[in-house]
Chain A
């Protein structure tokens, strides 16, 4: 049961973006379309999962004084890997995400989980935590991306939703930067009202 709790905690109750308000930079910047948001979420989940596992694996042999540089090294290795993979297999997505792929290195959500959880827990728990937080992040971004793409571009994953008339004159505002702040604000307000904190 405790393991299940570790996994689900990151999904809603301690959702990085919507509850803890960390990892906001990519959440605001690349949630313009569902595809970008989902791709960003998956990339971050990949990095989070593997860096958590590796850090938990070597946690006992890492001297306390140099733990941060070591965590950053491991995280940036996985980020560079996902960067290469994306360039090779998803070049369009890679170009759309642009600088936000390398910036996963400095996403405080990932270093935060490494420091606060993976460096103090077993490999299995760290893996579950990484997966939970990553999926929670992906969920938050995908929800934001859906709202912004549907209202701001009249499409969902590129397919027109409300008919051609709306597609031609959508609420452009939503796909621009202010739309990101509005959507995250409304989502945060809804969550504050309906989800009770532990």
Chain B
């Protein structure tokens, strides 16, 4: 009969040695694990968006897509709608107009549990390509009033994908901001001609070019602020609208107030007390961008 003391000591030593060994293995592999994870995530994001850089807003769930000059070009988010065999991991990219730039459904190896040969066909190109350029209202299956063809014999999985994407777009669009009508920032113009896609327009009246309208962004307090500005040929601001801002409600969020935005048309406004960082960022960015686009003004 072994004494209780001997049992306790042996168990203790074995447990101690095991945990020491494991902590070494962990410290050696954990940076590598984190690295592989982020590489995989980035590769996945690039599949659904043409953006150069992605800024994480909600960890592992929501990213803002930035183009090569650092401006917001859309967002990318992940949703996990319940399919037939389990949650389906979907990555969705949407542009500033709320249109889908691409979707990616995880393969079976990455945790998609739909039935092989049936529901798993949701990962095939024919199905995925349908989503490109669609808006939230067009995403449901045709039989549900949308524009997506379901996969034969895989309606549950197809519908889950559509529902997940639609819910995701509705949930995260606020991070994108609905793009305001260009007339709001340039009331005198009758027509707008795009110079740089989704970014810069000529403001026209009948035949004359009156000025330009552009969308740009600034680094605010919590996130980037996206705004739209109209400038006439004399370099005078005709209007400023906030496209997207996630500044602190009640503080930085004051930059959305009409009173403040209207001051841009009478020369540059003062920073808002209590929202200095956000308002200064906006004022500076507007100033810089007008200089940047000077060459487009006659």
- Decide whether A and B are members of one complex: yes
A residues sitting closer than 8 Å to B (CB atoms) are 32, 58, 61-66, 69-70, 73-74, 76-77, 80-81, 84-85, 87-89, 91-93, 95-96, 98, 152-153, 170, 172, 175-176
A-B contacts, 23 of them at CB < 8 A, read A63-B2, A64-B2, A65-B7, A66-B7, A66-B10, A69-B11, A73-B11, A73-B18, A76-B18, A77-B18, A77-B21, A80-B25, A81-B22, A84-B25, A84-B29, A85-B25, A87-B36, A89-B32, A92-B109, A92-B110, A96-B109, A172-B116, A175-B116
Is B6 within 8 A of A63, CB to CB? yes
Does chain A have a CB within 8 A of B15?
A: yes
Q: Quick one: closest A residue to B34, CB to CB? A: A88
CB–CB B15/A73 < 8 A: yes
Q: How many contacts A-B (CB < 8 Å)?
A: 72
Cross-chain contact B25 with A74 (CB below 8 angstroms): no
| Contact between chains at B22 and A172 (CB < 8 Å) | no
B117 within 8 A of A: yes
Q: Does B14 make an interface contact (CB < 8 A)?
A: yes
Bound-state Cα–Cα, A153 to B121, Å = 13
Which residues in B have their C-beta under 8 angstroms from that of A92?
A: 109-110
Cross-chain contact of B110 among A69, A85, A95 (Cβ < 8 A) = A95
List the A residue with the shortest CB-CB distance to B2.
A63
- Residues A84 and B116 in contact in the complex (CB < 8 Å), given A65-B2, A69-B11, A77-B18: no
B29 touches A88 (CB 8 A): yes
Known pairs A63-B6, A88-B36; list 10 more (Cβ under 8 Å): A61-B10, A65-B7, A73-B11, A81-B21, A81-B25, A88-B32, A89-B36, A95-B111, A170-B117, A176-B115
Smallest distance from the beta carbon of A166 to chain B beta carbons, Å? 12
Asked if B178 is at the interface of the complex by the 8 Å CB criterion, the answer is: no
A84 touches B10 (CB 8 A): no
A65 to B6, CA, bound (A): 10
Given A73-B15, A80-B22, A153-B116, A62 contacting B110 (CB threshold 8 A): no
- Residues of chain B within 8 A (CB-CB) of A64 are 2
Q: Looking at the complex, which one of B14, B29, B111, B117 makes contact with A85 (CB distance below 8 Å)?
A: B29
